[in-house]
Amino acid sequence: VSEVQGDDVVCVIKNSATLAGSLFTLHCSQIHIDMPTLSDEDKDVMKKWGAPNKIDFLSLSYTRHAEDVRQAREFLSKLGDLSQTLIFAKIENVEGLNHFDEILEEADGIILSRGNLGIDLPPEKVFLFQKSALHKCNMAGKPAVVTRVVDSMTDNLRPTRAEATDVANAVLDGSDAILLGAETLRGLYPVETISTVGRICAEAEKVFNQDLYFKRTVKYVGEPMTHLESIASSAVRAAIKVKASVIICFTSSGRAASAG
Q: Is the pLDDT of residue 171 over 70?
A: yes
For residue 21, is it within any domain? no
User: Which of 208, 223, 239 represents a domain boundary (last residue)?
Assistant: 208
For residue 11, is it within any domain? no
Whether residue 176 is found in the same domain as residue 246 = no
Q: pLDDT tens digits, residue range 119-135?
A: 888 888 888 999 999 99
Whether residue 179 is found in the same domain as residue 237 = no
Whether residue 114 is found in the same domain as residue 176 = yes
CATH number at residue 72: 3.20.20.60
User: CA nearest 112: which of 195, 22, 120?
Assistant: 120
For residue 169, is it within any domain? yes
Whether residue 204 is found in the same domain as residue 216 = no
- Name the least confident of 26-30, 108-112, 208-212: 26-30
Whether residue 157 is found in the same domain as residue 81 = yes
Whether residue 51 is found in the same domain as residue 160 = yes
pLDDT, mean of residues 170-190: 93
For residue 23, is it within any domain? no
More reliable by pLDDT, 82 or 49: 49
Whether residue 91 is found in the same domain as residue 167 = yes
Q: Is the pLDDT of residue 56 over 70?
A: yes
Q: How far apart are CA 134 and CA 120, in angstroms?
A: 19
Query: What percent of the chain is modeled with pLDDT above 70?
Result: 93
pLDDT for position 90:
96
Q: Is the pLDDT of residue 22 over 70?
A: no
Q: Is the pLDDT of residue 255 over 70?
A: yes
Q: Is the pLDDT of residue 101 over 90?
A: yes
Q: How far apart are CA 238 and CA 217, in angstroms?
A: 15
pLDDT for position 31:
67
For residue 201, is it within any domain? yes
Spatial contact of 163 and 196, defined as CB atoms under 8 Å apart: no
pLDDT for position 194:
97
For residue 9, is it within any domain? no
In whole angstroms, what separates CA 2 from the centre of its chain?
Answer: 36
Whether residue 83 is found in the same domain as residue 128 = yes
Whether residue 133 is found in the same domain as residue 165 = yes
Whether residue 101 is found in the same domain as residue 219 = no
For residue 137, is it within any domain? yes
Q: How far apart are CA 129 and CA 202, in angstroms?
A: 24
Q: Is the pLDDT of residue 42 over 70?
A: yes
Q: Is the pLDDT of residue 103 over 60?
A: yes
Total domains, the chain? 2
Question: What stretches of 2-120 show up as alpha helix (H) in DSSP?
Answer: 40-45, 66-77, 94-98, 100-106, 114-120
- The neighbour count for residue 78, using CB atoms within 10 Å, is 11
Domain containing residue 45 = 29-208
Q: How far apart are CA 110 and CA 108, in angstroms?
A: 7
Whether residue 190 is found in the same domain as residue 66 = yes
Q: By three-state DSSP, how is residue 26 classified?
A: coil
Q: How far apart are CA 164 and CA 65, in angstroms?
A: 33
Confidence of residue 209 (pLDDT cuts 50, 70, 90): confident
pLDDT, mean of residues 33-60: 89
Whether residue 160 is found in the same domain as residue 50 = yes
pLDDT, mean of residues 253-260: 75
Q: Is the pLDDT of residue 108 over 90?
A: yes
Q: Is the pLDDT of residue 17 over 90?
A: no
More reliable by pLDDT, 39 or 89: 89
Q: Is the pLDDT of residue 164 over 90?
A: yes
Q: Is the pLDDT of residue 25 over 80?
A: no
pLDDT, mean of residues 227-250: 87
For residue 170, is it within any domain? yes
